[in-house]
Amino acid sequence: MDASKDSRTNEVRLVFDSLSENESFARMVIAAFIMDMDPTMDELADVKTAVSEAVTNCVIHGYNGGAGKIYMNCRREGDSVTVEIIDYGAGIEDIEKAMEPLYTTRPELERSGMGFAFMEAFMDSLSVESTPGKGTRIVMEKTLGREDAYTQAL
C-alpha cells in the first residue's frame, strides 16, 4: 500500500435535523467517508452500526422525537477514523448507568438498552460526555485495516 495514503487526514462536518430518516443518511455518510480507507465488510458494518446507534439516541432520547439539530463530525487520521456526534437535547443524568448493557430509560418504546454496548463493542474506543438539560457528546474511534497492516508487517 502507498505510504502517503496511510498518513492522509480528512475531516467532514455535518449538521442535520433530528429525524429518524436521517439515521440512514448518517450511516451512508460514514460509509462514504471511510470507503477509501479500504475497510473490510465487517469494519464497514461495525462503524455504520455504531453511528446509527448514536444518531438514533440523539433522535429518541436527546430530542425525544422533537425538533433539534444533530452534529456529526468525521475525522480520518491515517488508518484511524473518529466520529463525534453531538445533540443539544435532554442530556444524561447518570452516564455510567446509561452505558450498562440492557439499561434503558425507554422500555415502553421497546428499546433494548444495547446502543452503547454496541458502540463499545464495534469501535475501539467510546467516550460519552453529557450534561442534563444541555446535551450529549459522544466520540468514538476505530482503526481500520489492522489485519492487513499486521499481515504486511510480517
Ligand X SMILES: Nc1ncnc2c1ncn2[C@@H]1O[C@H](COP(=O)(O)OP(=O)(O)OP(=O)(O)O)[C@@H](O)[C@H]1O
**Known catalytic membership, residue 111:** yes
**Known catalytic membership, residue 22:** no
Query: Is 57 one of the binding residues for Mg ion (CB under 5 A)?
Result: yes
Question: In 3D, which of 15, 25, 64, 26 has the Cα closest to residue 140?
Answer: 26
Q: How far is the C-alpha of 125 from the C-alpha of 132, rounded, in Å? A: 23
Which residue's CB is nearer to Mg ion, number 44 or number 99?
99
Among 38, 71, 113, 143, binds ligand X (CB under 6 A): 113
Q: What residues numbered 42-61 form the site for ligand X, per CB under 6 A?
A: 53, 57-58, 61
**Known catalytic membership, residue 53:** yes
Q: Which helix (H) or strand (E) holds 29?
A: helix 21-34
* Close Cβ partners of 112 (under 8 Å, ≥ 6 residues apart): 102, 104
Among 23, 115, 122, 140, binds Mg ion (CB under 5 A): 115
From the candidates 22, 23, 43, 53, which is the catalytic residue? 53
Residues 84, 64, 115, 128: is their CA dihedral positive or negative? Answer: positive
How many CA within 13 A on the CB side of residue 83?
28
Query: Is 73 one of the binding residues for ligand X (CB under 6 A)?
Result: no
* Shortest Cβ 117–ligand X spacing (Å): 6
Could you list the active site residues? 53, 57, 111
